[in-house]
Structure 1
Amino acid sequence: MALFHFNPAPFPQEPPLCRLCERPSKRFITLRSNRKGNAGRPYYKCQPCGEFLCFADHRGNNPDNPPCYCGVSSKRQLAGRETGVPRGVHYVCRLGVCTFYQPHIGGSGKQVTVDDDDLVHCMIKLRIL
């Protein structure tokens, strides 16, 4: 029996309109040198205003994630690295069309954080983050 088995919610197949300037976004691929765990990931970004909209992959797209303002399930992500600060787990709009953001709160009542790089890589491989 698989530990984590679900059919991931879909990511946007077409470039979403920018939530700030309402112009079409463009698909890009993160550089292989990206050290935040996102190397080679496709994403959508608005070129005119520079707004990052969303990653265009299944990572973190669990249909049981909290719904965003659009009414669809959100995407679970991990905050980028900052020296000496644990990386916070949070949810954002998986379609890149609304400003939804919600920290993942654990049993302690605080935001769940991950500061072990090996654990982060395992969670990425499992598409949890």
Structure 2
Amino acid sequence: MAPNVETSTPPNTPAPIGPYNHIAKTGPFITIGGTAGVDPATGKLAGPDVHAQTKAILNSFAVMLASVGSDLGHVLHINVFLKEMADFERMNQAYIEAMGGHRPARTVIGVRELPRPGVLVTMNLTAVTRE
């Protein structure tokens, strides 16, 4: 029998821009799909710079993870998709502020385009529940 997969997009997180939910969970394993730095209250970008957008992504991740019994300390891997590699250090500053001392595996990929105008960075992740 195939494992049950639960999908969701909790309140107080950005609405998906396509036909998907942000979170997929099976057992203790959680994946969160590509998320941009959007202010969930307004639906607009959290700011024009990569630092503000990165902070917003990680804040949204914290809310999403809490909704399925996890937190940023239980992240296994994060993919970062940067529009400009020149933004790498500013993204890292916001990343360190949000992640504290937790250093999960991470991949940073430079991309030419992202689906929403003005988006400088998107991220997705894999995590486990606190249990």
TM-score (norm 2): 0.28
Higher relative contact order (CA 8 A, sep 6+): 2
Structure ID, larger Rg: 1
Tell me which protein shows more strand as a share of its residues.
2
